[in-house]
Structure 1
Amino acid sequence: MFPEPNSELPEDPSAPEEAYLESPHHGFQGDRGAAPVQAAIPAALTIAVSREAGSRGSTIGARVGQKLGWQVYNQELLEYIAQEGTFRQELVENLTPGAGRWVEDRLQELLREQNLSQHPSIINLARLVLTLGAQGEVILIGRGAGCILPRASTLYVRIVAPLPDRVAYMSQWLRLTEEEAAEQVRLRDQRRANFLATHFHRPPGDVYQYDLLLNSSLLGEDLCAALIVQAARAKPGALRGKGL
């Protein structure tokens, strides 16, 4: 028969007294060591580049990608993938379960706080940007990437230049007259500003939303790229120092 609750345990002369006093509790499975460390999400930093038309932001972003060895997604590529369902779905399916949950949680947060348009094409774009950002070590140029990704895992960069320099660059790049180039700069700036205001409720000219604001005419493409690389390497440590 089993001993009654609270009854004394039978004595075993061959067992030490501590055997009864220190027997494992029910369910104890021994010391299994420290719990496995969960992978951080996002896994690494992302650089989001905003730029004025004709400021050479795309070229500078490409230089940064070469220096860091990171993939660069320009505006045209982001738009194509966001609209191309099969490729976009493959990227999403390659995420870990934890990263997939992070993408959807962040997307719902943006929608809940009304910081993102509910237009289906914009939701697809935001999901793509978040999917790329969850993996990190990518450079995203345009399409409101800086409005979608969180500050703690993103370096926000804005490239600017004086209007005459931007017009001259646009004229040379597209082989336009000065008047045609000036109109192109105006139209592109206006389209980008309207895109951000309509779908993310932000003006691109708000300088306080950026980590770096660089004048490409004064600094040149290579120095701008070098400064972005330096900031990308320094930002994670700076945030840790602030407890973020």
Structure 2
Amino acid sequence: MKAIHQLIEEQVRRWEIQRKEKQDLKPQPVITLSREPGSGGRLVAQAVADRLGLDLFHQQIINAMAQNADTTTRVIRTLDERGISMIDDWVSAAISDRHLWPDEMAKVLMRVIGAIGNHGKAIIVGRGANFVLPPENRFRVRIIAPMKKRVDCVAESFGISKEEAKRRVMRTESDRRAFIRKYFHSDIADPANYDMILNTGTLSIESAANAICSAVG
């Protein structure tokens, strides 16, 4: 698997080339995917990205883009003036609509998400992307599963006991809830925040991916 910095470098170069060639591609709505820990959401995201030819941005990539000032600057500079103005408007609207007082890091994170949304043709996993991008630019998905299935999945994936897996699931779930509550004043589990909710307790990864592809196709 490629290192995160290599994945980011390749992505930024693609965007830079598109801008230099002045490709006026109509942005496609971005799929934002929120998931319960252990639900297989990341696997669903990868399957959807592969089938639809989308760029996949998981949490670690977005964090790395936002935490390195030079990388953030390069990401923003892949946009033209109109694109930069647009993401500033999106971020301002998100802050105003939700009465947010985000710190500087949160603002940078939101601008990075906005840049990805402006380029389009992507699926963003986590980081509250569904609260940043406007309705016309995103399709919001949440992947859930029963606790037992999630615990079993984590125990098997990491080779740990079910007791430790349950602690890990609950800790991660608590962290994600706190992140969304702190930065977006919302409940990550509120169904009103999503356009589609899929339960991998009854759906296979393939079936969940098919449902998403059909919905956005």
TM-score (norm: length of structure 2)? 0.86
> SS in structure 1 opposite 2:102?
coil
For 2:97 and 2:140, how far apart are their aligned partners in 1?
20
Q: 1:189 aligns with which of 160, 164, 173?
A: 173
Equivalent of 2:141 in 152, 157, 160:
157
Name the structure 2 match of 1:95.
79
Letter in 2 for 1:78: I
1:17 corresponds to which residue? none
In structure 2, distance between residues paired with 1:116 and 1:72: 27
Q: How many equivalent residue pairs?
A: 195
Structure holding more helix per residue: 2
Deviation at 1:116, TM superposition (A): 3.8
Residues 46, 116 of structure 1: CA spacing in aligned structure 2 closer, same or farther, 3 A cutoff?
Answer: farther
Residues in 1 aligned to 2:46 and 2:40: alpha-carbon distance in whole angstroms: 10
Partner of residue 77 from structure 1, selected from 40, 61, 75: 61
**Conserved in 2, the CA contact under 8 Å of 1:50 and 1:141?**
yes
Distance 1:214 1:115, change over 3 A: farther
Q: In structure 2, give the amino acid aligned to 1:108.
A: S
- TM norm structure 1: 0.76
Q: Residues 55 and 166 of structure 1 are in contact (CA less than 8 Å); yes or no, is this contact kept in structure 2?
A: yes
State the match for 1:230 in structure 2: 214
Deviation at 1:111, TM superposition (A): 2.3
Give how far 1:141 is off. Answer: 0.1
User: 2:94–2:131: 8 Å Cα contact kept in structure 1?
Assistant: no
Residue 150 of structure 2 corresponds to residue 166 of structure 1: yes
Structure 2 gaps, min length 5: 1-22
Provide the rounded CA distance (Å) in 1 between the counterparts of 2:26 and 2:183: 24
Distance (Å, rounded) in 2 between the aligned partners of 1:176 and 1:150: 40
Paired position in structure 2 for 1:136:
120
- Checking the alignment, whether the CA contact within 8 Å between 1:161 and 1:215 is kept in structure 2 is yes
Contact 1:73 1:140 in 2 (8 A): yes
Give the CA deviation at 1:42.
7.4
CA shift for structure 1 position 112: 2.6
Whether the 8 Å contact between 1:42 and 1:134 is mirrored in structure 2 is no
Instruction: Say what the alpha-carbon RMSD is for the aligned residues.
Output: 1.7
- Larger Cα Rg: Structure 1 or Structure 2? 1
C-alpha change, 1:120 and 1:222, in structure 2 (3 Å) is: same
Tell me the equivalent position of 1:125: 109
Alignment match, 2:186? 202
Deviation at 1:175, TM superposition (A): 1.1
In the alignment, the residues of structure 2 paired with residue 114 and residue 209 of structure 1 have an alpha-carbon distance, to the nearest angstrom, of 13
Q: Distance in 2 between matches of 1:219 and 1:175?
A: 24
| Structure 1 counterpart SS, 2:201 | helix
